[in-house]
Amino acid sequence: MTRTISGIILVVALLGSFTQGCRQPNNPKRLMSIDSLVVVVDSLADRLDAIDTVPLLHMDSVFNTQRAELEAYFTDTLQRDTALVAGKYYRAMYKSLPRAIGNRRAFRKAVDESRKQLTDLQRDASKGIWKEEEELAFYERERLIVFDLYKSTEVIEKSAATSFREWEDGHQLVDSLLSMRRRLPKQ
């Protein structure tokens, strides 16, 4: 009799552990939403990877050699058109370029971390591991992180585009202005 009761308890315990491991997702729609966030994060990774950093690093190197001389040039009286082009070039190389280079690396790493978190959340949600409220809290946190990464990726893309545009528009002019300034007699 005790063997039968022990056997029943063992069967019940095993069945209980199997049903715990095979729980249904709390919210199948949320699972689809998590899948959508994974697609967005993968897209952000592709967009960040598409930014060609080699020319950006070249621009940064050139600007670093020009910067002090260009700042000194701004103390002179300049023609309006020249001042606008040189000023836009300086601002892009001083602000947008470092943002495009430096933030790209940091946010690419954050995108990878978000992808891992979403994959873990996806796995846990599909197994129904968390209580409904906990799962919702984790989902909302990841959704906000993805939204912030999306906005940051746009800023980085715009910063890179501004850097490329202002380089094309102003680099040769700034280079020739500085070259002419170097040939002038020092006062």
Q: pLDDT tens digit string along 140-163? A: 999 999 999 999 999 999 999 999
Question: Are the CB atoms for 145 and 114 separated by under 8 Å?
Answer: yes
Domain assignment present for residue 21? The answer is no
Name the average pLDDT for the chain: 85
SS (H, E, C) 43-70: HHHHHHHCCCHHHHHHHHHHHHHHHHHH
Domain assignment present for residue 55? The answer is yes
pTM of the model: 0.78
How large is the average pLDDT for residues 17-31? 63
- More confidently predicted of 17 and 2: 2
Tokens at residue 72, please? 């000194």
Q: Rounded CA gap, 41 and 126, in Å?
A: 19
Q: Rounded CA gap, 167 and 89, in Å?
A: 7
Q: How many structural domains compose the chain?
A: 1
**pLDDT number for residue 178:** 84
Domain assignment present for residue 18? The answer is no
Domain assignment present for residue 12? The answer is no
Ramachandran bin of 113, using left for φ above 0, alpha for ψ from -120 to 50, beta for the remaining angles: alpha
How large is the average pLDDT for residues 25-46? 90
* Cα within 13 Å of Cα(109), Cβ side: 4
Contacts of 92 (CB under 8 A, 6+ apart): 162, 163, 165, 166, 167, 170
If pLDDT is split at 50, 70 and 90, which confidence band does 25 have?
Answer: low
Domain containing 93 equals: 27-183
Domain assignment present for residue 7? The answer is no
If pLDDT is split at 50, 70 and 90, which confidence band does 23 have?
Answer: low
Domain assignment present for residue 17? The answer is no
Domain assignment present for residue 153? The answer is yes
Domain assignment present for residue 75? The answer is yes
